[in-house]
Structure 1
Amino acid sequence: MNILIWHVHGSWLTSFVQGPHTYLLPTTPGRGSDGLGRARTWTWPGSARERTPAQLRGSDIDLVVLQRPHEIELTQEWTGRRPGHDIPAVYVEHNSPHGTAVDTPHPLARRTDIHLVHVTHFNRLMWDNGRAPTSVIEHGIIDPGPLWTGTEERAAVVVNEPVRRGRTTGTDLLPAFAASAPLDIFGMATDGLPRHVDLPPGRCRSFDLPQHELHRAMARCRVYLHPVRWTSLGLSLLEAMFLGMPVVALGTTEVHEAVPPDAGVVSNRPEILADGLRRFLTDPGAAAAAGARARAAARDRYGVERFLDDWDRLLKEVTR
């Protein structure tokens, strides 16, 4: 099957392109957000192939996987075919509603011709999906292996776009957590934080690492901290669990579904999370045991094989 899909979420797409199909990735000269093409920092198979808009016009395409509303118009403009009419289409919703948690209509809520796929059950529950046919296909993670060593008495944090997303990613909570545990913060520069976020001197280190270095750097930390208030379900949280890291996380959105009680500490009370950080830092045995349970739970629920099987079943259904 030839599948047209944009490079939007690199971590998710890395798992998706491991399937048995050919994946056509729009590529533009400037490699902007609508034409990134193949990944530069992940390893993708040869079946993930770049196509310019002009090449897409004459390409054999069996299905389009949409991830942003404007891709519906882009598909028609670049291929001459209308998603849901001239070509089968599914829409992957990666995010929780940005508006009110219960009253935000999904952009596809009035359509019945494009199948809407949520990546968590929480997302499907919170979006107003209207008339759109919906499914949930949970994340699939390529197993990086049990890399955790916990040799450094520090907590790892992965924060994407911490300044723009602010309270969404829990950026404002980092100073208080840093008082309980030294933090290794990945994916950001501490000198780019908002002025009101004042990290204790000497308690935080920041890193911006390529994907192939990130996991080993995270795994040297004793514990993984997930301070995110409102997101779908952070892939970095699941990756930390695959590494064998114990987890300390806010109990928001889908986190309580993903992290078993014996795999770490999940709570919406910051003082309980701070206690969890201190306990894992001072008790390597407890950290190792919780991390082992976290890895087992993640492999059981979020393996890439299950993910690809779920997608294959849906793709056959919508192209039937």
Structure 2
Amino acid sequence: MNILLWHVHGSWTTAFVQGKHRYLVPVSADRGPWGRGRAQTYSWPDSVEEVPYDRLGAHEIDAVILQRPEELALLSAWAPAVRLPKIYVEHNTPKGDVPATRHPMGDRDDLLIVHVTHFNQLFWDCGGTRTAVIEHGIVPPVADYRGDLERLAVVTNEPLRRGRVTGTDLFARFAAAAPLDVFGIGVAGLAGPRVDTFEDPPQAAMHTLLARRRAYLHLCRWTSLGLSLIEAMTIGLPVVALATTEAVEAVPPGAGVLSTRVDTLVDAALWLIESPGEALRLGAAGRAAARRRYGLDRFLADWDHLLEEQLCASR
């Protein structure tokens, strides 16, 4: 099957393109947000091909994966796309008046919305648009947990701009318990006493660095489900997380410490710093849970089933 999709979310796309299909990714001269082409910091297979917009019509395309409302407008100039199966993948939680937030693709009969978590499906009002859930899957990190550094790790993007959403205001409380390492895009401005930053490292290198930290912090107040949390669990890091959003499903009892009380989480982080054996035990349980629930084979099989179903329905 030939699938057209934009490069939007690097980690999710990295898992998605591991399937058996041919993946066509739009590319523009400036490699801007609407034409990034192939990933530069993730490893993608040769089955992912860059296609300039003016050459899309030369390719036979079986299905389109949409991830932003604006992508429908980009397709409008390409008439054949109107008749293709269209699947809109919703990665994010709603913003604004959350209990009543209408999805931008709500009340449509020409596409299917696929949520990446059940939490997303619960909170978005999609009206009459058909919805489904395909939970995340990840390419297993090659790094294995060592935990030899008595430091805490966080992976987040744009923490200064997003502030309370990503729990940036809580970083100082945890840094008081143990040195904090923050990885991601736009993290350099956070560097300071007991806080070191690693600006946008390549994924494999970041996993190797994470594996040496004693524990992983997930402090997002409002998010879908950070793939970095699943990656950290799969590496074997014990997790200390706010008991919010999909994290309460992703981290089962015995695989980490979850609470809405920040003091409880700070105490848990300090406990793991001082107890490497307990950190290893919790991390091993989390690793087993993440591999069971978020394995790549299950993820790709779910997507193959859905794509075949949509293709058959369009004929």
In structure 2, C-alpha distance between the alignment counterparts of 1:99 and 1:298, rounded to whole Å:
31
Deviation track 1:163-210 (CA, whole Å, cap 9, x = no partner) reads 2211111111111111112101112566524xxxxx762x11111222
- Picking from 240, 265, 279, the partner of 2:232 is 240
In structure 2, C-alpha distance between the alignment counterparts of 1:230 and 1:81, rounded to whole Å:
38
- Picking from 263, 285, 288, the partner of 1:271 is 263
For the 8 Å contact 1:72–1:82, the answer to whether it is kept is no
- Picking from 133, 137, 155, the partner of 1:158 is 155
What are the residue-to-residue correspondences of 1:1-320 with 2, within 5 Å? 1-77=1-77, 79-83=78-82, 86-145=83-142, 147-187=144-184, 192-193=189-190, 201=193, 203-208=194-199, 209-320=201-312
In structure 1, C-alpha distance between the alignment counterparts of 2:81 and 2:22, rounded to whole Å:
20
TM-score (norm 1): 0.95
Number of corresponding residues: 311
For the 8 Å contact 1:67–1:91, the answer to whether it is kept is yes
Give the letter aligned to residue 10 of structure 2.
G
Task: Structure 1 unaligned segments of length 5 or more: list them.
Answer: 194-198
Map of 1:196 onto structure 2: none
Give the drift of 1:102.
Answer: 1.2
For the 8 Å contact 1:179–1:200, the answer to whether it is kept is no
Residues 75 and 243 (structure 1), Cα distance of their counterparts in 2 relative to 1, 3 Å cut: same
For the 8 Å contact 2:159–2:186, the answer to whether it is kept is no
Task: Structure 2 unaligned segments of length 5 or more: list them.
Answer: none
TM-score (norm 2): 0.96
Name the SS of the counterpart of 2:165 in structure 1.
Answer: helix
Give the letter aligned to residue 196 of structure 2.
R
In structure 1, C-alpha distance between the alignment counterparts of 2:45 and 2:187, rounded to whole Å:
35
Give the drift of 1:45.
Answer: 0.8
Give the drift of 1:264.
Answer: 1.1
Name the SS of the counterpart of 1:45 in structure 2.
Answer: coil
In structure 2, C-alpha distance between the alignment counterparts of 1:184 and 1:191, rounded to whole Å:
11
For the 8 Å contact 1:152–1:221, the answer to whether it is kept is yes
Give the letter aligned to residue 108 of structure 1.
M
For the 8 Å contact 2:151–2:273, the answer to whether it is kept is yes
Give the letter aligned to residue 14 of structure 1.
T
In structure 2, C-alpha distance between the alignment counterparts of 1:244 and 1:33, rounded to whole Å:
33
